[in-house]
């Protein structure tokens, strides 16, 4: 699945941090910065899929979500963040 927009795009500096736990571009107190980190864990670590962001400043952004129909094995890639037990 690809979700795209024609907005201002995301700089390379921010794009490199998007899936980090607690990273946010919002002011302090207006969001914990967990949404994309948890999404990454669900798609990549739990379903052996792919979650990536393609963006160019001034040209918009695309998020790619790929989940295999059949899982061959578990992904070993980890950012060290643990899902809450009700999401595992």
- For residue 32, the model assigns a pLDDT of 80
Q: Tokens 């979500």 map to which residue?
A: 65
Look-up of token digits 């107190």? 29
Q: Scanning the structure block, which residue is given the tokens 């998007």?
A: 18
Judged by DSSP in three states, 46 sits in: helix
Map tokens 């207006």 to a residue.
30
pLDDT (0 to 100) of residue 50:
95
Residue 85: predicted pLDDT: 56
pLDDT of 33 reads 80
Per-residue pLDDT tens for 30-56? 878 889 999 999 999 999 999 999 999
The two tokens of residue 75 are 């992904």
> What is the rounded (10 degree) CA torsion for 69, 73, 79, 82?
80
How is residue 17 written in tokens? 């941090």
Pick 2-71's CATH classification: 3.40.640.10, 3.40.140.10, 3.40.50.12780, 3.30.565.10: 3.30.565.10
State the pLDDT at residue 42. Answer: 94
> Would you say residue 84 has pLDDT above 70?
no
């Amino acid at each position: 699945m690809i979700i795209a927009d024609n907005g201002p795009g995301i700089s390379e500096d921010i794009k490199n941090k998007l899936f980090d736990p607690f990273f946010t571009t919002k002011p302090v107190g207006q969001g914990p910065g967990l949404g994309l980190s948890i999404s990454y864990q669900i798609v990549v670590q739990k379903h052996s899929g792919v979650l990536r962001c393609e963006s160019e400043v001034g040209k918009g952004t695309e998020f790619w979500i790929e989940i295999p129909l059949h899982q061959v094995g578990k992904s070993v890639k980890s950012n060290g963040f643990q899902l809450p037990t009700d999401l595992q």
